[in-house]
Chain A
Amino acid sequence: MAVLEVNHLKKIYTTRFGGNKVQALTDVCFTVEEGEFVAIMGESGSGKTTLLNILASLDKPTAGEVLLRGTPMSTIKEGRLAAFRRQHLGFVFQDFNLLDNFSVEDNIYLPLVLDGRQKYEEMRARLEPLAQKLSIADILKKFPYEISGGQKQRVAAARALITNPDILLADEPTGALDSKASGALLKLLAEVNREGQTILMVTHSAKAASRAGRVLFIRDGEVFHQIYRGGASDDDFHRQIGHAVTVSAAGAAGKAV
């Protein structure tokens, strides 16, 4: 069964006094299977962030439906949404979103503590292998302002993964990192994915997308193209994506004319 199923998603923003209507998503359909690593690519303003917010249940669609493991998100009660989010979804953001008044360790525990169902020892037991894998074991006692951007993003990844989420949602995870840290993080995500973690990543970087198994291209609120890695190497896939982006730009230009 698909982990995530997105059916005919539509989102229209209305400005406060009802004047302007902005169609952020026109008609988005796709599914993500168990263990897949999917990247969604698009320019700024293409509707990526809106899509991710809806998938994260932070926003509601105007029409259409999102199903997580067959459960429609619209059937979840408002009061249960936050709990749903922390139990089933993991997030990695472009600007890390770590809390500066918590140590690295406490930042990672945050979703578990909010859930309130686990003792400290259990949380600790979960953290240890994760910290090894993400090579953050030696900075657990530090505070976010004491560590580098790459480390911060690995901490954010640990925070997202510690709940064993059904799907990891990553919003431009490399956007604030230098190329070396970006490479390392992407390698990590690929590794995590190989171990079975389903990942959905939104990005406008072809390099980042080239690590995924499948890339969806979104433009003007619609998925207009998708390519599969198949057996291609990262570099080959990178080229294919580059090509698709060029075509897409040309298509957009053609449409504009």
Chain B
Amino acid sequence: MRKLSFYPKLAMGNLWRNKSTYLPYLLACVVSVFTFYTMLAINLNGALDGIRSESVVKSFTAIGAIILALFCSALIFYTNSFLAKRRKKELGLYSILGMEKKNIGIVMFFETLLIAAAALVLGLLLGLLLSRLLFLVLLRLVQYEVTVDMPVSYSAIVITIIFFGAVFLLALLSNLRQVRLANPIDLMSGARQGEKEPRASWLLTLIGLGCLGGGYFIALYFRSPSEALMMFLVAVFLVIIGTFCLFTSGSIALLKLLRRNKNYYYTPRHFISVSGLIYRMKQNAAGLATIGILSCMVLVTVSATVCLYVGAENSLQTQYPSEYELSFDVAEDADTLLTGARQVAVGTGVELADLWDYRIGSLTTLESGGAFNSVADFDSISSMTMIGLMPLQDYNASMGENTTLAGDEALLFVTGGSYSGDTLTLDGTTYRVTHLDQLGTQKSGADDLGRTILLVLPDMDAVERALEARPEAVRQARPTETVMRRALTFNLSGDEAAKAQFLSGYEAFIAGLSTNGYFQYLSREGNRVNWYATNGGFLFLGIYFGILFLLAAALIIYYKQLSEGYDDAGRFEILQKVGMSEGEVRKTINGQILTVFFLPLVVAVVHIAVAFFPVSRAMVLFGVRNTPLLALSTLFTVLAYALVYLLVYRRTAKTYFRIVRRQAATA
């Protein structure tokens, strides 16, 4: 009986004695269980079936759960191996005191069991308490107003227990393997042998500088949204390589350069720090570079999703200047749909407002020296210009204006670029143009996907003549373009509920329509649902993972600092004996921790600052043209991240000092 309770007690005692390392581990495990369960429970929630954004929410949470599974198990394995390494000496002592490997294995089994049980119980408890709240947050983010219940998901509980049970079992097995392989003497001599001084590779440093510079250049140089997105990936790749090279070799090269400068190096402030950092960078460079890059990615993702989400209304307005937009090949369809819209509007109590009803012909052109020529094909969106041709009659009718134009005159309205000439030549015909600053609610010059020019010509004949002027090859390659299309756009006035009724009523009407022509229907309301479902889901995942990642990064740095604290204790003891005051020791330590901690953050912030430009251009592809908003959301995200980081830093520094001090005192 006594024997049975001996091992659990010993295991409990071990954990308690090592609580400064095991508590963060337990915390990481609890958070892992909690996040995994929550994601899974939302995914498995049957109540979601049949809601409007069901498929989007489900696929987001499914992807989320898979990433979480990978991420959490990696985190647990990493932390576990770190802890096992730290405790080698203790286990060696047990072994020398006469504990067999089998007995050590039993102790380890109980330790893992205790941690696993605590993590699962606390994590699931937290999950049960908070998953409903998180679920509501998610529904709020995807703008789903109807309350959906969130029942306790037993299958999610079972899957969570099985999954983490397996993870902990594997962690235990890897620990047992270490015990089995090692002999007590090896276990006891945890102390490091003198380490070779790291070499600085100038080649790698130069490669790093080149890659980083190249990446930055590409990110800043390519300006058009479509190119930027493609080149951005190249830039990201280069910056990642550059960061790794500079962290591993560049940092050491720089430190050695500083060391070579005798007047800089042989001063109290730099002497200890520089030589200490050379070793620190050797051990930590790869880890710090990874943390820097991942931080950067998380921050960019979160700030971009925040911006997309917050800028949704703005973006919907620019992407859909009118609430409803319909265009047709067959002009008769327009009459049917307009009549239909009026009928549904009367039925639901809204009125059609800002109704535009116009004919438009569109051309794809390439500009060369102020002359635009129609082409059948184009290389990239950025080089082409879309030209829309509208007769003056339709323009005046839609705008409620009374403009007149001479035979060679035209009105010009440009978006997604600029055109400032007084004349414009299209397929050989030159028009004297009057520039319009505004078209309805749209302002000219707004950033868009490629340049679009609207030309208002004096009459329908002029439009047809312009279409006829296209080269023969173009006319054959894209005959559909010659067909003038008719377009309808309108807004609604009325209260929100009535508008929603109109949306469903009109969509039903359109669904029942039969036409053999090409027909396009866009509604801002209809797209808003998708928009919020997608971006809300993105935002949810982005923030969720952002927090989890921050936790993991902080934990990894915390453990790194602890293990260095044990290594440094001896060093600082010597320094104190040789004549360094405790204040100076403190200052030096602070400097070193600060560097190791904040170097990745600083690197991440610099990367983000550069990435800001291509990201803001890429946002245009998603219809967000609000640069100040992106700046604000980036700033806010970085500050929130830095704040949490700072808290972890202070906690770490405190523990580190305690270790250094205690070791020095007992020596």
Interface residues of A (CB under 8 A from B): 56, 58, 79, 81-83, 85-87, 89, 91, 93, 97-102, 106, 109-111, 113-116, 119-120, 123, 143-146, 159
Q: Per-residue 0/1 for B565-577: is the Cβ within 8 Å of any A Cβ (1 yes, 0 no)?
A: 0000001001111
Closest to A98 in B: B574
Q: Which residues from chain B contact A81 at a C-beta distance below 8 Å?
A: 581
Residues in B neighbouring A89, C-beta threshold 8 A: 579
Q: Which residue of B lies closest to A57 (CB)?
A: B579
In the bound complex, residues from chain B placing their C-beta under 8 Å from that of A123 are 266
Once A101-B276, A143-B197 are accepted as A-B contacts, the answer to whether A111 and B579 lie under 8 Å apart by CB is yes
Query: Is B245 an interface residue when CB atoms closer than 8 A count as contact?
Result: no
Given contacts A87-B579, A109-B266, A113-B266, list 7 more A-B pairs with CB under 8 A.
A86-B578, A86-B580, A91-B578, A102-B275, A106-B275, A120-B266, A143-B197
- B262 in the interface (beta carbon within 8 A): yes
Q: How far is the CA of A12 from the CA of B92 in the complex (A)?
A: 35
Asked whether any CB of chain A lies closer than 8 Å to the CB of B401, the reply is no
Q: Judging by beta carbons under 8 Å apart, are B262 and A114 in contact?
A: no
Docked-complex contact A82 and B278, CB < 8 angstroms: no
Q: Please determine whether B262 and A56 come into contact, CB atoms closer than 8 angstroms.
A: no
Asked, given contacts A114-B271, A114-B584, whether A99 binds B194 with beta carbons under 8 Å apart, the answer is no
Name, among B576, B578, B580, B582, the residue most crowded by chain A CB atoms within 10 Å (CB to CB): B578
In the complex, chain A residues whose CB is within 8 Å of the CB of B576: 58, 82
Closest to B582 in A: A82
Pick the 4 closest A-B CB pairs, nearest first. A145-B194, A86-B579, A82-B581, A120-B262
Could you tell me if B193 and A114 are in contact, using CB atoms closer than 8 angstroms? Answer: no
**Given A82-B581, A120-B263, also A113-B271 (CB < 8 A):** yes
Given A82-B580, A114-B271, A114-B580, is A101 in contact with B279 using a C-beta cutoff of 8 Å?
A: yes
Contact indicator A145/B574 (Cβ below 8 Å): no
The 5 listed contacts between A and B (C-beta, < 8 Å) are: A79-B583, A100-B194, A106-B271, A113-B266, A116-B268
Measured in the bound complex, the distance between the Cα atoms of B579 and A115 in whole Å is: 9
B145 touches A (CB below 8 Å): no
**CA of A144 to CA of B266, assembled, Å:** 19
Residue of A nearest to B278 (CB): A101
B402 within 8 A of A: no
Residues B573-613 near A (CB distance < 8 A): 574-584
User: Known: A114-B584, A120-B266, A145-B193. Is A83-B577 also a contact (CB below 8 A)?
Assistant: no
CA distance A142 to B198 in the complex (A): 14
Residues of B near A99 (CB, < 8 A) are: 275, 571, 574-575
Among B197, B278, B574, find the residue whose CB has the most chain A CB atoms closer than 10 A: B574
Chain A residues whose CB sits within 8 angstroms of the CB of B276 once the complex forms: 101
Q: Is B267 an interface residue (CB 8 A)?
A: yes
**How far apart sit A115 and B582, CA to CA, in the bound complex (Å)?**
14
Complex Cα–Cα for A159 and B279 (A) = 22
The answer to whether B194 and A143 have CB atoms under 8 Å apart is: yes
In the complex formed, the residue of B with least CB distance to A56 is B577
Q: Which residues of B have CB within 8 Å of A93?
A: 577
Are the C-beta atoms of B279 and A116 separated by less than 8 Å?
A: no
**Residue on B nearest A146 in the bound complex, by CB:** B194
State A87–B578 Cα separation when bound (angstroms). Answer: 10
Are A114 and B579 touching (Cβ within 8 A)? yes
B195 interfacial by beta-carbon distance below 8 Å: yes
Report the minimal beta-carbon distance from A91 to chain B, rounded to whole angstroms: 6
Interface residues of B in 248-286 (CB under 8 A from A): 262-263, 266-268, 271, 275-276, 278-279
Contact yes or no, B578 A114, CB < 8 A: yes
Contact indicator A91/B266 (Cβ below 8 Å): no
- Chain B residues contacting A116 (CB-CB under 8 Å) are 267-268
- A102: chain B residues within 8 A (beta carbon): 275
| A-side contacts of B580, CB under 8 Å | 82, 86, 114
> Is A110 touching B263 in the complex (CB atoms < 8 A)?
no
Q: B578: which of A110, A120, A145 is its contact (CB, 8 Å)?
A: A110
Q: Is there contact, CB below 8 Å, between A113 and B267?
A: yes
Question: Is B195's CB under 8 angstroms from A97's CB?
Answer: no
In the complex, chain A residues whose CB is within 8 Å of the CB of B193: 145
| Inter-chain contact A82/B584, CB cutoff 8 Å | yes
- Complex Cα distance, B313 from A256, in Å, reads 93
Cα distance, A71 to B574, chains bound together (Å): 26
Min Cβ gap B396→A in Å is 82
Which residue, A101, A102, A110, A114, has most C-beta atoms of chain B within 10 A? A101
| Smallest Cβ-Cβ distance to B574: which chain A residue | A97
Within 8 A of A (CB), among B417-431: none
Distance between Cα atoms of A26 and B100 in the complex (Å): 46
Q: Inside 8 A of B577's CB, which chain A residues have their CB?
A: 56, 58, 91, 93, 97
Task: Assess whether B194 is in contact with A85, with CB atoms less than 8 Å apart.
Answer: no
B199-210 CB contact bits vs A (8 Å, 1 = yes)? 000000000000
User: A257–B193 Cα gap in the complex (Å)?
Assistant: 47
Q: How far does the alpha carbon of A109 sit from the alpha carbon of B259 in the complex, in Å?
A: 14
Given known pairs A100-B194, A113-B271, A145-B193, the reply for A119 and B263 (CB within 8 Å) is yes
Instruction: Report B-chain residues with C-beta under 8 Å of the C-beta of A86.
Output: 578-580
Contacts of A143 in B (CB 8 A): 194, 196-197
Q: How far is the CB of B283 from chain A (nearest CB, A)?
A: 11
Q: How far is the CA of A100 from the CA of B193 in the complex (A)?
A: 9
- In the complex formed, the residue of A with least CB distance to B268 is A116
B578 touches A113 (CB 8 A): no
Nearest CB in chain A to that of B276: its residue:
A101
Central interface residue in B278, B575, B577, by most chain A CB within 10 Å: B577
The docked-state distance in angstroms from the alpha carbon of A87 to that of B266 is 17
Q: How far is the CA of A85 from the CA of B279 in the complex (A)?
A: 28
User: Nearest-CB distance from A45 to chain B (Å)?
Assistant: 17
Report the Cα distance A25→B279, complex, angstroms: 41
Q: Are B266's CB and A111's CB within 8 A?
A: no
- Asked if B268 and A113 make an inter-chain contact with CB atoms under 8 angstroms apart, the answer reads yes
Contact A82 B579 (CB under 8 A): yes
Shortest distance in angstroms between A158's beta carbon and chain B's nearest beta carbon?
12
Residues of B contacting A100 with CB < 8 Å?
194-195, 571
Rounded to whole Å, the gap between the CB of A143 and the closest CB of chain B is 6
Residue of B nearest to A159 (CB): B578
Query: A99 vs B271: C-alpha distance in the bound complex, in angstroms?
Result: 12
Q: In angstroms, how far is the closest chain B Cβ from the Cβ of A99?
A: 6
Q: How far is the CA of A157 from the CA of B386 in the complex (A)?
A: 83
Set of chain A residues within 8 Å of B266, measured between Cβ atoms: 109, 113, 119-120, 123
| A106–B193 CA distance with the chains assembled, in angstroms | 20
